[in-house]
Structure 1
């Protein structure tokens, strides 16, 4: 085999290998990039969650337990799950049908898919619903911006 042909084949093989490595790395890079702008925490009570993060909604009852919270570090995207101390939604929430609910913009293993189809209330800027004694709520970035919180 000629030296020129060997060089061409080696170059082509190298380009293919680099291309395959890049294709394989893209999903991992996307997960890393998306995840680096998200923080989450677990708290024993609503009071603890509000004490730890100023962005946890003030309408969350202090006596709520098993609080899970996720937030985008850029913007107003939020997820919240908590066991409520009393039956029903917190008093600051108002009934609102689900057709206006937008799809949550974050994902977490503890937050159900399709939540937007179950929303029954608005709690501040959050869409929410209760399943048993568990509250699920999420805030959309556009609502946060419209409210002026993004300034």
Structure 2
């Protein structure tokens, strides 16, 4: 179950359902949650690296944010690891394994958590827990 995999149980399961709904499937979809989730990830990455080194250059900080936001190499990889391609609802003409589809669903999870808890920090914590297998690689760069 996805909630077990991410280590978070939704109070309102409708938020998770929406996060797993692509715009090709329904007008009630994950686009807005994906935008929020993307911002949650960017903020969490920024907080981590600024907390580690307040003197970090804006160029380096942007590089770290980009590394965690790349569709093909970061969020889609994490999303595929979670099996989101098997649970995201898409139209029959849409490829559920497309990196943009998986990445949008992955990001939307964290937007949905932020809405469910009304706390961006909670969503950021879940992001780091899910992304932890990649954190060592990213942090060592």
The structure with more strand, counted as a fraction of residues: 1
Q: Shared fold (TM-score greater than 0.5)?
A: no
Q: TM-score, normalised by structure 1?
A: 0.24
Of structures 1 and 2, the one scoring higher in RCO (CA 8 A, sep 6+) is 2
Q: TM-score, normalised by structure 2?
A: 0.25
Larger radius of gyration: 1
The structure with more helix, counted as a fraction of residues: 2
